[in-house]
Amino acid sequence: MTYRPTSIDVAAMAGLSQATVSRVLNGSALVSARARHRVMEAARQLNYKVDVHASKLRSKKAHGLEVIVVKDIGNEYGLINPFFVPMIAEIVRYAGQKGYEVTVSFQDEVGAGMPYRCTGKPAAATIFLAPKDFEAYSRINHGDDHWVVWGRQFADLRTSCVVSDNEKGARDAVRHLIGQGRKRIAYLGKFTGEQWEFAERHLGYCQALHDAGLSLDERLQVDCVLSMDGGAAAVQHLLDAGMAFDAIFAATDVLGIGAMRALTAHGLKIPDDVATIGFDDLWICNTVTPRLSTVRQNTIAAAHVLVDSAEALLEGDTPAITKIPTELVVRDSSDRQRSSKPA
């Protein structure tokens, strides 16, 4: 492979700092004629060519990245879904390491008012963390911008998408429950395509049951509000309906924790009577009793891919879909052997 000289090589040959070389190559007037001559002569001898592509990318970095987080109407957590907290923190850290300034913008859900952008200067690219509202925001706020969307895979690929492997994650969770001898497994969550990631998790639930030769009972599938109270209400609904079930796959950890609260209130033992597993791996999973089994979404890897995807768009790459693997995390709430061991 032929070595391509860099501005560091030019600086070393010229006996000047890289900052001085950069100023010369960028045409700055704040450089002496002598220093300019030394830099240009070193560049000539090394056959150094200015990377115009990189120069354009650096100018894009001056505009920074914007992260848009949309608040759900009625969200019991206030401004932000707790799942996004570590992801946003890592986006800011990783993008900053790459030289980007990051603005985080909290917006109202479409339907609560007119969507808006609140950054003080235009962003080079936008990372969007509310997939069901993306079309409305992109129409109102510069539809030709560089967009990277978390959590949804668009058939019409005009933006880069980063998603967890929701279907496989759900399939792994339900297969784990089946492997524990469970046959009447309830689903708590959403089913519709409006919230794409939940539709995928429901599909994984159905596929795991089908693969195991277990019947799919619609009465065990509860479309519920995505909150702890929603999880508790879903369990209450199943109990009031007289439905027999020995396991719960909750489409979020928050639903799973709410479900466990209701099961305990009714004197049911977890996991002996009802094994329970969630999805996300929020920090709270390790603080509840029993500790909640779950499917981990890798928020650190997701943050890196979101930033790298935004940078790729700025470099002129075509939009792409990236699927991030999930990981089954088995804890006390779904495994009798673990739950029987002393803490």
pLDDT, tens digit, for every residue of 112-141?
444 444 444 567 888 988 766 666 666 555
Spatial CA neighbour of 260 closest among 332, 170, 205, 182: 332
Q: What is the mean pLDDT of the chain?
A: 84
Q: What percent of the chain has pLDDT over 70?
A: 78
Residue 77 has pLDDT above 60, yes or no: no
**Least confidently predicted of 286-290, 302-306, 318-322:** 318-322
Mean pLDDT across 301-307: 94
Greatest mean pLDDT range, 15-19, 71-75, 231-235, 308-312: 231-235
Q: What's residue 304's pLDDT?
A: 94
Greatest mean pLDDT range, 4-8, 74-78, 195-199, 219-223: 219-223
Residue 232 has pLDDT above 50, yes or no: yes
Mean pLDDT across 254-272: 97
Residue 300 has pLDDT above 50, yes or no: yes
Q: What's residue 201's pLDDT?
A: 96
At 259, which helix (H) or strand (E)?
helix 253-265
Higher pLDDT, 69 or 145: 69
Q: Strand, coil or helix: what is 76?
A: coil
Greatest mean pLDDT range, 71-75, 97-101, 250-254: 250-254
Higher pLDDT, 110 or 331: 331
Mean pLDDT across 255-265: 97
Spatial CA neighbour of 159 closest among 339, 328, 318: 318
Which amino acid is it at 221? Answer: Q
Q: Strand, coil or helix: what is 196?
A: helix
Rounded to an integer, what distance in angstroms lies between the CA atom of residue 318 and that of residue 315? 9
Higher pLDDT, 78 or 213: 213
Rounded to an integer, what distance in angstroms lies between the CA atom of residue 249 and that of residue 304? 29
Left if phi > 0, otherwise alpha if psi is -120 to 50, otherwise beta: which for 281?
left
Q: What is the rounded end-to-end Cα distance, in angstroms, of the chain?
A: 57
Which amino acid is it at 333? Answer: S
How many CB atoms neighbour CB 30 within 10 A?
A: 7
128-134: list long-range contacts, CB under 8 Å, 24+ apart. 128/68, 129/67, 129/68, 129/69, 129/70, 129/84, 129/87, 129/88, 130/68, 130/69, 130/70, 131/195, 131/196, 131/197, 132/194, 132/195, 132/196, 133/70, 133/109, 134/159
Q: What's residue 163's pLDDT?
A: 92
pTM: 0.77
- Which domains, from first to last, does the chain contain? 7-50 (1.10.260.40), 62-164+299-325 (3.40.50.2300), 166-297+329-340 (3.40.50.2300)
Spatial CA neighbour of 188 closest among 152, 219, 153, 209: 219
